[in-house]
Structure 1
Amino acid sequence: MLSINFSKVKNNAAPMVHIECEVEVRPEFLKRSQKLLYQAKNIKVSGDLFYDEPYVTGNFKVSADLVVPSSRSLAPVDDHEEFSFTENYSQDKPTKDELDENPDPIVTINNDTIDLQTAVEDNILLNIPTTILTEKEKDEHIYPEGKGWEVVSEKAFDEGKKNQINPAFAKLKGLFDDQNKNKK
């Protein structure tokens, strides 16, 4: 598990503590995220932590190779992610004002231990794209369908709306046909 002591960063003679390592996800993380993530490997984390009273702030860069479900078919899709995140760590529970004023999350730590493993795992989930497709779904514009229903593209939906006849007006369409026949 990837962790570092709050006091180590706070009392370090150097202004920053640098970390660079590979991370293995925990089985409980994969179980917790099973509907969002099938596999995570080659996870590399680099970052710096520094003390800025009352917080230890960490700026991290993560790269990971993931296998995630397609947002259309749930078929496995290989995805490479690279992202950054920043978190503040505090030994005391932050006040509502502190949470409102700070743009970065403030995480309360226990027993002088900053749990970077959970931070990396949670941010992997947060950075999975909302729309991710297999190559076949991208190339062939494949949408899911079932008995009596189908998903259509926004373009096809708009075309269908343009060509759709209002049922109330459809009844009126033949209203004057009899009168036109009588005039002939």
Structure 2
Amino acid sequence: MKWVLKELSDYKNEPLSVSEKLDLSQDIMDRYSKYVISAKDKFDVDAYVFYDNGNAIVNAHVRGNIVVPSSRSLTPVNLPLDFKIDEVYVDTKAQLKKYEEDDEAAFLLEDDDVIDFDKSVADNIILQIPMHILSPEEKNGSKMPEGNDWEVISEEEYETQKADNKKVDPRLAKLKELFNDSDK
């Protein structure tokens, strides 16, 4: 999906309505292979593009699936996505400042005034990946990963171990009393 800002001026009264299936797998894998295992499915994108005083306002709804690594074990996890994008594209720095003050997502167009919305969709897909993502087995409490002389434990197990370490060996309890007397 690419639009030229000047051509969008025809849509002052009625927004441009676009509904497409985008194949973003190559772009996503080229730019974000560190975060995504696979993006083979096409993404359904429904967008409305408004032209307002030299600016293009894009409201879009994106649906699709990507495969990302689990944050715990790096096993592939299917991640369904369903999100909205609201962005403004401007052609001058003065207009960009106006939108930044309002905390809106605004972008300054390059010399050719072309809006490459495919790149924006790919970037927003990456923003939708949660910091912690678990496979269904990991969510259901399957065994935590472990290796040679290490293992991942739950918070409950950690608290139990911490409490066990605070308990004093009964054979050493008398020594504890000895140190209390010397402090007085």
TM bracket (short chain):
0.7 to 0.9
> What does the per-residue CA deviation read over 1:17-66, in whole Å, with 9 as the maximum and x for residues that have no partner?
11110101152430221121111213110111112335211111100111
Partner of 1:141: 142
Partner of 2:6: 7
- The 5 Å alignment of 1:3-152 reads 3-25=2-24, 27-40=26-39, 41-94=41-94, 97-98=97-98, 100-110=100-110, 111-152=112-153
Structure-2 separation of matches of 1:96 and 1:9:
18
Partner of 1:182: none
Structure-2 separation of matches of 1:88 and 1:45:
17
TM-score by length of 1: 0.82
Q: Structure 1's 172 and 53: CA in aligned 2 closer, same or farther, altered over 3 A?
A: farther
Q: Structure 1's 39 and 94: CA in aligned 2 closer, same or farther, altered over 3 A?
A: farther
1:137 counterpart letter in structure 2: E
3-state secondary structure, aligned to 2:45: strand
> What does the per-residue CA deviation read over 1:81-106, in whole Å, with 9 as the maximum and x for residues that have no partner?
10111111011235784354122211
Partner of 2:160: 159
> What does the per-residue CA deviation read over 1:60-86, in whole Å, with 9 as the maximum and x for residues that have no partner?
110011111111111111121101111
CA contact (8 A) 2:62 2:84 kept: yes
2:122 counterpart letter in structure 1: E
2:173 counterpart letter in structure 1: K
2:35 counterpart letter in structure 1: L
Q: Aligned residues, how many? A: 176
User: What runs of 5+ residues in structure 1 fail to find an aligned partner?
Assistant: 179-184
Structure-1 separation of matches of 2:166 and 2:136:
36
Structure-2 separation of matches of 1:96 and 1:113:
16
Compute the displacement of 1:154 (Å): 2.0
1:21 counterpart letter in structure 2: E
Compute the displacement of 1:176 (Å): 6.9
Structure-2 separation of matches of 1:95 and 1:13:
18
User: What runs of 5+ residues in structure 2 fail to find an aligned partner?
Assistant: 179-184
TM-score by length of 2: 0.82
Identity %: 28
2:71 counterpart letter in structure 1: S
